[in-house]
Structure 1
Amino acid sequence: MHARDSLDPSRSIWHFIAVHLRRYREAHGMSGQALGDVLDCDRSTVSRYESATLRLKRAHAEIIDRLWATNDMFTNLVDFADRADEGDWLLSLAEFERRATRIRMSDTSVIPGLLQTPDYARATLMAGTADDPNSALERRMSRKAAVFDKENPPRLTAFLGWAVLGQLVGTREVMRDQLAHLIELSELPQVSLRVVEKEAGAHPGLDGPFMILTVDDRDVAYTEAASRGRFLMDPFDIQEVAVRYDLISDIAAPVGPSRALLRAELEKYS
């Protein structure tokens, strides 16, 4: 299935922009290359605009409005989407995770949502500010299932800070089951879990959790804050996150020793 076939313009304004950009282009008999020439960009950029893997730049929206005499429609849509302040960020994250062929992530504060057991996830949600923890739990587990239960799950690498493993979340039983689950995941052929040990000292992972998702052969970066996430679509921004990933990779324990660290932590809850 092509990426644009999964767009839902009724639930995401960026999807709405992508769908209507393609419709207008085709209605005016223009190829993706022809529109790229007008925008002074390559055809792949137009394709990414139309699949919502790259968000339409305001400068390009202004050119399109002049080209097709839309009375500033695309410019206004982009402005509105920007003012929405990522209101659909969780929906977009789940969609990118579902479509991803590779996921790279790092977290030093909590075990990432895609790796959580239901009980661990419930404990983190109950400790937070979620208005409806049960609905939030259902969404989180649905995201996880969409990644791990599909026919060809993505290649996933996760860096976990050493403090994450020692932080008691929920009961001892919850932590025991969570650590056992991490060990099971680490044994999957497409999953690599690596621990950043205490001796590594200060490192770029302390700046906050992030993900890099490869979707339709393109990378999208995602950084997380207390109440919502932020997507980075610009190649220069994505490269900065990728450099952070590489720097953490340089200091993280290899897969085998990391699995041994997980087992050692599990023994503490036996």
Structure 2
Amino acid sequence: MSDVLDPNRSLWHLIAVEVRRQRELHKISGTRLADLLECDRSTVSRIENGLRRLSLAYAGRLDELWATEGLFTHLVGFASATDDGDWFTGLKEYEPRATRLRMWEISVVPGLLQTPDYARAVLSAGLNEDLDRAVELRLARQAAVFERPKPPQVFVILNWVVLEEVFGNATIMRGQLAHLIEMAELPNVSVRVLEKGAGGHMGVEGSFQVLTVDDRDIVYADAAGRGRLIVDPPEVQYLSTGYDRIGDIATTVGPSLSLIERTMEAYQ
């Protein structure tokens, strides 16, 4: 597989080639590198052959091992943010490490706050060939964020459409809104609603999430078909400021939860 890697075509290919180059430069065998990374020899082989992407954790260890001054960490960060059709790999790397998540959602409950039934209803609207697997992955993503020893601070602003757009049926919607209220009662979770009549605002451009990771912000911006990770500081600042402006006109926490509860009771 290493013969078909093209560093001119893909940052991930460049990373794979550079891992092998650095290993050979330092005269370390694949088995020895696996021992240093505390992984299987097959993992090293798959990374070098482009069959497995280098994780941020392994990238950091390689930077320390070979004194590359953050080279692999930076490469993985930029590769994860590249809109190459597999944006979710990067998002899954960052979410479990984030200390703060700020979400603006325009049409559906954010994936991290979805019930299994609601998630299945949402995912079935797409072209998922294995719906059970898609739901399983979404629940695993939730567990990686909320079931770790120190879960992040989570701030959510929902467009009013989220409460009224029915996915599945009334029973599923009632359960989902009840789950939102339950999650909002956690000390690290805040849920607010942007009600009807808010007028024009930055949120109409689409849903996005601002993640604070290693004391810096990155953004995942939603889009039709797939989204993208954004690490460019000016663009990150633009969307982070946009989140604050949406928050300025959103309903406060108490009234928002009352609105969610009233909407939930309407689903009979």
Name the CA shift for 1:98/1:19 in 2 (closer, same or farther; >3 Å): closer
The number of aligned residues is: 223
Name the CA shift for 1:150/1:19 in 2 (closer, same or farther; >3 Å): closer
Shift of 1:25: 5.4
Name the CA shift for 1:98/1:267 in 2 (closer, same or farther; >3 Å): same
3-state SS in 2 of match to 1:105: strand
- Contact 2:56/2:76, CA 8 A, preserved across alignment: no
1:210 maps onto 2:233 in alignment: no
Q: How does 1:165-204 map to 2 (within 5 A)?
A: 165-204=163-202
**Could you tell me which residue of structure 2 aligns to residue 247 of structure 1?**
245
Structure 2 gap segments, 5+ residues each:
1-36
**Could you tell me which residue of structure 2 aligns to residue 69 of structure 1?**
none
TM-score, normalised with respect to structure 1: 0.74
Pick aligned residue for 1:22 from 63, 69, 73:
63
Shift of 1:52: 5.7
> Which stretch of the first structure deviates more once superposed, 15-24 or 179-188?
15-24
- Quote the RMSD (CA, aligned, Å): 2.9
1:137 maps onto 2:178 in alignment: no
Q: Measure, in 2, the Cα distance between the counterparts of 1:190 and 1:96.
A: 18
Q: How does 1:1-270 map to 2 (within 5 A)?
A: 9=47, 11-12=52-53, 18=59, 22=63, 26=67, 32=69, 46=70, 50=73, 54-55=77-78, 85-270=83-268
Shift of 1:21: 7.5
**Could you tell me which residue of structure 2 aligns to residue 73 of structure 1?**
none
Instruction: Read off the aligned partner of 2:212 and give its amino acid letter.
Output: T
Fraction of identical pairs, as percent: 46
Structure 1 gap segments, 5+ residues each:
33-45, 57-77
3-state SS in 2 of match to 1:127: coil
TM-score, normalised with respect to structure 2: 0.74
**Could you tell me which residue of structure 1 aligns to residue 3 of structure 2?**
none
Name the CA shift for 1:6/1:179 in 2 (closer, same or farther; >3 Å): farther
3-state SS in 1 of match to 2:210: strand
Q: Measure, in 1, the Cα distance between the counterparts of 2:38 and 2:213.
A: 12
Q: Measure, in 1, the Cα distance between the counterparts of 2:234 and 2:245.
A: 17
Name the CA shift for 1:103/1:241 in 2 (closer, same or farther; >3 Å): same
Residue deviations 1:49-96 (CA, integer Å, cap 9, x gap): 62667428xxxxxxxxxxxxxxxxxxxxx9xx95xx434321221221
Residue deviations 1:120-179 (CA, integer Å, cap 9, x gap): 000011111222222111111110111111111100001100011011110111001001
Instruction: Read off the aligned partner of 1:220 and give its amino acid letter.
Output: I
